Amino acid sequence: MGPALDEVREKLSDLDGDAVVSEAYPEVLVETRAPAVAKALLSEFGTSIYSLTGASLEEVVGGLLIATGRTLATAESCTGGLIGHRVTNVPGSSAYYRMGFVTYSNQAKVDLLDVPGEIIDREGAVAEDVARNMVKGALSRSGADLAVSVSGIAGPGGGTPGKPIGTVWFAAGSRGDIGTVRKEWQGDRERVKHASACQALDMIRRLCIGAPLS
């Protein structure tokens, strides 16, 4: 996602103009009527800012998919369908949302997304190669132009020293061009799921505007 709350507050402290800043982890929300403040934030944080009008992330993503003429598929594990839920909260999302796969178990990842079982056996379900292969499978099975995947440890159990609770692997892209991102979120199970859904939606947004995935 974009800048942290402290980074935004530090930037606002240097600016003239009223602004109210709050956190909806992992997002940072700024309310201001001062054009100079908005301009300075855009200059500082660039493509990390997804809306100047208060539109939700899923609304922005939907508008970009329509504008670019692309369709989307989602492949979810730890988020359990939350990404697809948010995508379909937008009226008219059937124009661009092809389908979603909720592959919570390892076997479902193999059966529905063609993730090689030997990769899961070797690296575990929460791994870069698994996330990448989930995207490949979602693209192949759905026929969509873009796909995003998520596989992680939402807690409260399941963490290890190498993969603590809150560790999540993401992948997103199109055929032949898939990027990955690793995050370690803080907080309880619901917070990890919410943050992961935000990250996945933001990666779709970044694909549509040609920005780096993180």
Over 90: is that where the pLDDT of 16 sits? no
Over 90: is that where the pLDDT of 27 sits? yes
Domain 57-209 CATH assignment equals 3.90.950.20: yes
- Higher pLDDT pick, 15 / 100: 100
- Higher pLDDT pick, 1 / 206: 206
- The 8-class DSSP code of residue 214 comes to -
What is the per-residue pLDDT across 50-99, written as a single tens digit (0 to 9) for each? 999 999 999 999 999 999 999 999 999 999 999 999 999 999 999 999 99
What would the mean pLDDT of 6-24 be, rounded to a whole number? 89
- The torsion angle over the Cα atoms of residues 136, 137, 139 and 143, rounded to 10 degrees, is 150
Per-domain boundaries in the chain:
5-48, 57-209
115-133 b/e (C-beta count within 10 Å ≥ 16 → b)? beeebbeeeebbbbbbbbb
- Residue listed under structure tokens 């990842």: 109
Check residue 14 and give its pLDDT.
85
pLDDT band, very low/low/confident/very high, at 193 (cuts 50, 70, 90): very high
Q: What pTM was computed for the model?
A: 0.95
For the chain, what percent of residues have pLDDT higher than 90? 91
Over 80: is that where the pLDDT of 190 sits? yes
SS3 of residue 29 by DSSP: strand
What would the mean pLDDT of 190-200 be, rounded to a whole number? 98
Closest listed residue to residue 72, CA positions, set 98, 100, 103: 98
Instruction: Please give the mean pLDDT across all residues of the chain.
Output: 96
Using an 8 Å Cβ cutoff, are 199 and 180 in contact?
A: no
What would the mean pLDDT of 188-195 be, rounded to a whole number? 97
Distance CA 108, CA 94 (A): 25
Check residue 15 and give its pLDDT.
84
Whether cis (ω within 30° of 0) applies to the bond prior to 26 is yes
Q: Is 156 left (phi over 0), alpha (psi -120 to 50) or beta?
A: alpha
Check residue 131 and give its pLDDT.
98
What would the mean pLDDT of 27-31 be, rounded to a whole number? 94
Whether cis (ω within 30° of 0) applies to the bond prior to 212 is no
What would the mean pLDDT of 168-193 be, rounded to a whole number? 97
Per mean pLDDT, which of 12-16, 34-38, 133-137 is the most reliable? 133-137
CA 113 to each of CA 48, 93, 139: distance values in angstroms, whole numbers, following the listed order = 31, 23, 9
What is the per-residue pLDDT across 116-168, written as a single tens digit (0 to 9) for each? 999 999 999 999 999 999 999 999 999 999 999 999 999 999 999 999 999 99
Check residue 89 and give its pLDDT.
98
